[in-house]
Amino acid sequence: MSAGGNSPSFVHQPVMLTECLDLLNLHEGARVIDFTAGGGGHSAAMAQRVAQGGMVVAIDRDEDAIAATSQRLSLLQDPVELKLLKSDFSGARRALLAGGADLTGTLDGALFDLGVSSYQLDGPRGFSFMRDEPLDMRMDRTTGQSAADLLQTASNDELFKILRDFGEERFAAAIARRIVERRRTVKIDRTSQLVDIVMSAVPRAAWPKDKHVATRSFQAIRMAVNNELAQIEAGLDYAIDLLKPGGRLVVISFHSLEDRIVKQRFLAAAGRAPSPPGRSPAAMLPRNDVPVLRIITRKPLEASAEEVAINPRARSARLRAAEKL
């Protein structure tokens, strides 16, 4: 569906919805921001909670998500003030200010439900190794480099680091080498080509039993194409600025690299620096900065077994929440 599409086929089961709404602690008239509008599932539930008199700002870098969220919220009986913005996290401050809204220090809640939506995964945008599609992988298809272009232009060393750092792929060096060999003769611009490369670079005996051998490579390349980890840091900093004292921040992440950034950002904002590698969290070092957050979830919450049974995507969800001081 394009931005001008005519049906909200983006509909997607919002992950850990009850936990989000409880921890956001929303009341009628509250003003909230959803940084990852997606299919609008969380935004719609937040809108129902804040009701008339409330405000929902919904942001996404994917124009299809903005269209789907707009459509979904227009169906609500009790319309709230709605601001929809196509922006990535790092551009959100500028985008809101350009629209004449300086919301700094005024919001009651902020939500991030990170990663890709099921709509994006269901393609045909190259996010999935399950089908043969053009290798694009951009959440925002109007800007930046596609995965095919990245595979064509990155050096062997850059590809190795992407696969190692974002995919935690043991065979990063072999896969990077194979990409560079293959692109000498043909442009790698289909998902099936990348799958073949990974399958030929990883010894058969080392293929994981519980997931496809290309899972880690696809994740790594997607994260590089969308600059996902740096985006999270920028988004969290801005979300903290937007909240008023007592406002709540809730973040759901889907893999350990994302969760580590959220945890460290929360700790730093709570006035505690992460301990050096290998030290226990109890050894967290106090920081001199004035704390701006109180951490609510000492450990991340996980989805209930009931939710995972209905929505497998919830299996790897980790939710952290904090309150602005």
Q: Which stretch binds ligand SAM (CB under 6 A): 55-63, 145-153, 158-166, 208-216?
A: 55-63
Please state the closest distance from residue 60 (CB atom) to ligand SAM, in A: 5
- Among 8, 39, 109, 126, which residue sits at the site for ligand SAM (rule: CB under 6 A)? 39
Rounded Cα distance, 195 and 185, in Å: 17
What strand order describes the sheet that includes 31-34? 81-86, 55-60, 31-34, 107-113, 243-253, 318-324, 293-295
- 223-242 residues in contact with ligand SAM (CB under 6 A) are 231
- Among 19, 21, 32, 41, which residue sits at the site for ligand SAM (rule: CB under 6 A)? 41
- Widest CA span in the chain: 61
> CB neighbours (10 Å) of residue 309?
11
* Helix, strand, coil abundance in the chain, percent, nearest 5: 45, 15, 40
Tell me: does residue 61 bind ligand SAM (CB under 6 A). Answer: yes
Rounded Cα distance, 264 and 259, in Å: 9
Number of Cα atoms under 13 Å in the Cβ half of residue 100 = 0
Please state the closest distance from residue 164 (CB atom) to ligand SAM, in A: 22
Please state the closest distance from residue 126 (CB atom) to ligand SAM, in A: 14
Tell me: does residue 54 bind ligand SAM (CB under 6 A). Answer: no
- 17-36 residues in contact with ligand SAM (CB under 6 A) are 36
Q: Which residues contact 12 (CB under 8 A, 6 or more apart)?
A: 38, 39, 41, 117, 118, 119
- Among 21, 24, 32, 38, which residue sits at the site for ligand SAM (rule: CB under 6 A)? 38
Residues 118/313, Cβ–Cβ less than 8 Å = yes
Q: Closer CB to ligand SAM, residue 118 or residue 152?
A: 118
Q: Which stretch binds ligand SAM (CB under 6 A): 54-62, 188-196, 258-266, 278-286?
A: 54-62
Size of the site for ligand SAM (CB under 6 A): 21
For 24-76, give the DSSP string: HT--TT-EEEES--TTSHHHHHHHHHH-TT-EEEEEES-HHHHHHHHHHHHT-
- Among 32, 47, 65, 249, which residue sits at the site for ligand SAM (rule: CB under 6 A)? 65
- 187-216 residues in contact with ligand SAM (CB under 6 A) are none
Residues 8/71, Cβ–Cβ less than 8 Å = yes
Rounded to the nearest 10 degrees, how much is the dihedral formed by the CA atoms of 264, 145, 201, 186? 180
Per-residue x/- track, 71-110, ligand SAM (CB under 6 A) = -----------------xx---------------------
Rounded Cα distance, 33 and 153, in Å: 37
Tell me: does residue 62 bind ligand SAM (CB under 6 A). Answer: yes
Please state the closest distance from residue 255 (CB atom) to ligand SAM, in A: 12
Q: Which residues bind ligand SAM (CB under 6 A)?
A: 12, 14, 36, 38-42, 59-62, 65, 88-89, 113, 115-117, 139, 231
